[in-house]
Each structure stands twice: as C-alpha cells, then as structure tokens.
Amino acid sequence: MLQGQTATRVQVMAAMASSVLYWFSGSGNSLVVATALSEALGGVPLVPVVQALRLPAAKPAGVMGVVFPVYAFGLPNIVRRFLETVPLEADPYVFTVATPGVIPGNVHREAEAVLGQRGVALAAGWTVLMPESFSPLRLRLTVHRTATVLRRVNGRVADIAGAVREGRRGVRQDSLAPTAWAGAAVHRAAARFFPTAGSGFRVAEHCAACGLCARVCPVGNISVDNGKPAWGERCEWCFACMQWCPVGAIETTGLATNRLRYHHPAVTAEQIAAQTVSDDPPPPAETPADAPRGASTSRPPH
C-alpha cells in the first residue's frame, strides 16, 4: 500500500511539469480558490475554462485540476462541456475542486461520470465552501458567515495542495446520499433550464448604460441595445451580470425579493471579463511548450 502510494506520488510529481489549473467563475470565488491553489502548487498555469473551450490546449496536461462553482447541486453546463471535450493525456491525474455556497450535491460524481464516458478516471474531488452567489437565496441568514468562510479558504487550499502532491485518490467531497441523489435529479432539470434563464433578468431605469454586464458575461449572452442589456438564450446562469453591475440595475423576476448582491471582495470585474474570449486571434505561444494557449496570467490579490 505504502509502496503504491509512493509510486503515485512520484508519478504525480513528475507529471506536475505539465500541469494546468482550469477555472470558471461568475462572482470570483472560484478564481480566488484557483489562484491560491496555483500558488500553493508552485505556480501551476491558470487557464479559464471559457478560453480552453475555444482554444484547446496545444498539449494535454499530465496533472489537470478544474475549479468551479456548484449550480443546482451539480456541474455548471459549461464545465460539463469542458470535461466532455478537453484534450487529455493517457492516464492523467485529474482532480476537481468545487466551491459551493452550502451544498455540493453530486457534483464530483457527476464529473466522474462525464470523464468515465471518455475512459478517464477522476482521481479526487474536493469541496471548498465559499459565500453563496445565488442571489435569490442569498438571504441575510447566509451573509453573516461570509467573513468566516473567506478566512478559511487558504487553509483548505493548503490541505488540497498537499493531497495533490501526494497523488491522493478516491476523495469525493459530495453531499451524503440520499441528498446527493435528490440533488442529481434536481440538477438534470435545472441544467435544461439554464440556457433560457436570461429571460428572467430585467434592467431597471437607473441603468447607466456602461456595458459592463455584457463584458463580464462569460458566454456572450448579453447584447447592448441603445446602451441597455438584452439577454439571449445561451445563459449559464452564473449571475455575473447581476453581481457586477456597478449600480445594481439588474434584477431577476419570478424569484424571491431582497436579492443581495455579492462578488468576491478581492476580485475585479476586469478579471472576470478577462476569462471571456475576444474574437482576436490567439497570442503567439511565449510560455513553455507544455503551457496551453490562452493561459490567463491575471491573479487577484488575496
């Protein structure tokens, strides 16, 4: 057993040379976790999932981590598409880090199933609790714990980095069954609804016509007509448009009132906007041959 673990550790350390951390984030929590993890692992390149989908890696990674929020007890649709298509090395060490507000649901087992269809094993799935970003549920009840949750992040990340270095396998930090099974059923229905969820947003009169909501949208689902946003039908329901509007002009309809806005205090709207892909051609590769194209070098302070 010990011998096996040592072998795994050596293999993972060797593969770290071609390691990548992918991230997807609406309100900044997952970007902060990914950045802290990158630093704890000695500067592993950070790549936005949004860019990786558009500009696949020049060379697949031997160690691949993916950091993302939990949406309705499961994977964001965009992260699922990414896991279905990302180029992978033979026998890679793949791990997931989910950043739910309260309940991870079945998110790591869902990732395991998606990868399994490609014949790839998920080595480990960790969960780092973060502040809740789903505004309709962000009641004052959950706001009081924001500071406490944020204080714990670096400790959790250090533990995960240590486990990755050891090549730990078999971790699944999902909710306990049957909560996870119930969550999986809810998630299947929600995932079908997400693309059209933009129709639930409204813009108030006091919109300053700044266009920021369109720039932070990770999938280009917002067009700006006469300075005012209009939503299309490829929404991820990440809530970035609502969270980052500088004047709080975006509201949701048909859900609870008293919607408090949240974004991670150390992240800027520009850093979220930077995960999207412009129509410009990709920059020439200037990083080592193993680093994928489109790697983001932006790092939030934390």
Q: Which residues of the chain form contacts with ligand FMN (CB under 6 A)?
A: 25-30, 69-73, 99-103, 105, 130-134, 237-239
Q: How far is the CB of 15 from ligand FMN (least distance, A)?
A: 26
Q: Does 53 bind ligand SF4 (CB under 6 A)?
A: no
**φ, ψ dihedrals at 20, nearest 5°:** -140, 140
Q: Which of 217, 267, 273, 295 binds ligand SF4 (CB under 6 A)?
A: 217
Interaction partner, residue 69 (ligand FMN, ligand SF4, none; CB < 5-8 Å by kind) = ligand FMN
Interaction partner, residue 271 (ligand FMN, ligand SF4, none; CB < 5-8 Å by kind) = none
Contact 179, 38 (CB under 8 A): no
Q: Does 255 bind ligand SF4 (CB under 6 A)?
A: no
Q: Does 269 bind ligand SF4 (CB under 6 A)?
A: no
Helices (H), 55-152: 77-85, 107-116, 140-143, 146-151
* DSSP code per residue over 138-165: --HHHHTTHHHHHHTHHHHHHHHHHHHH
Q: For ligand SF4, which is the closer residue by CB, 22 or 231?
A: 231
* DSSP code per residue over 122-133: --EEEE------
Burial of 289 (0-12, 13-18, 19+ CB in 10 A): exposed
Q: Does 48 bind ligand SF4 (CB under 6 A)?
A: no
Residues 175-204 interacting with ligand SF4 (rule: CB under 6 A): 198, 203
CA separation, residue 21 to residues 12, 36, 88, 89, 266 (Å):
14, 11, 13, 15, 20
Q: How far is the CB of 7 from ligand FMN (least distance, A)?
A: 35
| Residues of the shown chain interacting with ligand SF4 in the complex, contacts defined by CB under 6 A | 26, 198, 203, 207-213, 217-219, 221-222, 229, 231, 235-241, 245, 247, 249-250
